[in-house]
A and B are shown apart, each in its own frame.
Chain A
């Protein structure tokens, strides 16, 4: 009997290791390909060579093309880095929310965090606020996301408990109010601000620069690290609030910390890239299908998977149509929408049997 258990344990550890290896290799490969492709193509070995040279290793060829080195370091790499940070943040926020609400359909957009953050970011655009320099949008997005989530949380809370259904329904109401606020912002803004808001809600990594990366990367790091630290407790929340408390989880405190982390991660995700939907929904689901719902693996694997997905999606956004930068949010929704349908149908077939 113990031998069998150890055996199956080993198989699962093995699967997780393979998944992490695949995701890491895939991410590195995707980064090299994405950095090399665009209006100016740079061969993969030159991309690698350029990176190694910057690291002080004199290995591999430097980019041949004139401006190749500049294109890589001033345009491509900041953009790829933004894709990594945004993808990892959104996917981790999704995994965290689904765990906290014990609901596989929970996502920052569902509970109103995204729209709250979006509204605050739109206010920055319309009123041309610049209090915190490059971090202004991020700071406002974080504040907006946090305030919205706290409103949702406090309004759906009763006697120290939070019902998931109430919470999701409150989220819908808050979402509606946030879109009203968004409409007001568009009404108040001039033509340029309006255009900026529209493109922002479509989501795009166009115009990513290193200073932006330095703003959102620390937020993402804090958020992901926090999520990994609480991963073990998130498993227990699957038992339901009462049973989780009975095995020693301070449910309300865990939820509050998780909500702040989700706001941090969502801020990192939307501050400069705008609204990119479905990453937080699709990635954790695929990871769960591959290795099961244990959050110790799910959370870090979602971060890796989200980064990979967004690097690839952004490569598509830049290169699918020549000389056009498609909105990446449109692409992720195009793929994510049908996936959502499939999830709903599958959930109906296997009532309660979320894998």
Chain B
């Protein structure tokens, strides 16, 4: 892993089915940084993630990691650079939880890193709090449990770039905090971590920087206190919000009175 270069997305535009989804997007996630991607539904968060991991080929722009274009790597090499947690966590057959987590180790087969497979799998399951589910069959788990098992699989992959698409969507408060805590510690250990989040308060609490996407463009990118300001958020989300600062971190709540007044007026 090179020292200075993390993920560098430059001037990325993407059209899907004739609809422009991303317009000239820049995003940088340095090693050791946790960046939250936020924005309203359909703002292009998941599409941006898709471009970064190579699911979509951008019309223009470049995606580089550690100073080299990610698109130039073969599937296996790319899988040693970046791991991805998708929103949907489906599985075609009834594999056991431990087998699913072990799937994250595949890119390291026939490399020296293979020797630590058992240890990495065990650690990943402990960190994602799924160790006690090890022998359960994946399809029999609840939505939140499936999400945590998939998170464990991502951890087992042990890559310097980690991308999580709404990892907390199906989780209770304890596990939301736990998952983002682990993401934070990955960043502290030197990984570049990108997380798509809907909960702005959660993003403010855990991220170094927040990148706000709106209609396929970057509306703001910076420290939580600079980005999470009422005017900007109200414009992006088309809903008035209040921002309260608690323990030095912004807390974002939808402003209900104003909204009712707005709706009544219109």
Which residues of A are interface residues toward B (Cβ below 8 A)? 1-2, 4-5, 8, 102-104, 232, 235-240, 242-243, 245-251, 288, 292-294, 350, 352-355
Contacts and interface: CB of A to CB of B under 8 A. Distances in A.
Contacts of B139: 350, 352-354
A247 B106 contact: yes
B126 to A, nearest CB: 8
B94 A240 contact: no
Contacts of A245: 54-55, 75
A352 B90 contact: yes
A-B CB proximity, top 9 nearest: A248-B79, A102-B92, A293-B93, A248-B107, A248-B76, A238-B92, A353-B139, A355-B94, A250-B75
Contact of B78 (A2, A248, A294): A248
21 contacts: A1-B122, A104-B93, A239-B91, A240-B88, A242-B86, A243-B86, A245-B55, A246-B82, A246-B83, A246-B86, A247-B79, A247-B83, A247-B106, A248-B75, A248-B77, A248-B106, A249-B75, A292-B94, A292-B95, A292-B96, A352-B139
Given A247-B107, A248-B107, A354 B79 contact: no
B134 interface: yes
Interface string B50-85: 000111000000000000000000111111101110
A254 B55 CA distance: 17
B118 interface: yes
Contacts of A350: 139
B86 A288 contact: no
B104 interface: yes
B133 interface: no
B131 interface: yes
A354 B76 contact: no
Interface of B: 53-55, 74-80, 82-84, 86, 88, 90-96, 98-100, 103-104, 106-107, 109, 118, 122, 126, 131, 134-135, 137, 139-140, 153, 157
Given A2-B122, A4-B134, A248-B78, 13 more contacts: A232-B106, A242-B84, A246-B83, A247-B83, A247-B103, A247-B107, A248-B75, A248-B76, A288-B93, A294-B95, A353-B94, A353-B137, A354-B94
A205 B11 CA distance: 64
Nearest to B163: A246
Nearest to B77: A248
B98 A5 contact: yes
A247 B77 CA distance: 10
A265 B28 CA distance: 49
Contacts of A8: 98, 134-135
Contacts of A242: 55, 84, 86
A165 to B, nearest CB: 13
A2 B93 contact: no
A249 B104 CA distance: 11
Contacts of B90: 240, 352
A354 B139 CA distance: 8
Contacts of A103: 92
Contacts of A352: 90, 139
A249 B157 CA distance: 13
Contacts of B76: 248, 250
Given A235-B99, A355-B137, A1 B93 contact: no
B99 A294 contact: yes
A10 to B, nearest CB: 13
B164 to A, nearest CB: 12
A1 B74 CA distance: 36
Contacts of A243: 84, 86
B103 A235 contact: yes
B131 A1 contact: yes
- A5, A248, A288 pick with most chain B CB within 10 angstroms: A248
Contacts of A293: 93-95
Contacts of B88: 240
A294 B102 CA distance: 12
Contacts of B55: 242, 245
Contacts of B99: 235, 292, 294
Contacts of A2: 118, 122
A239 B93 CA distance: 9
Contacts of B126: 1
A205 to B, nearest CB: 32
A103 B153 CA distance: 22
Contacts of B84: 242-243, 246
A297 to B, nearest CB: 12
Contacts of A236: 103, 106
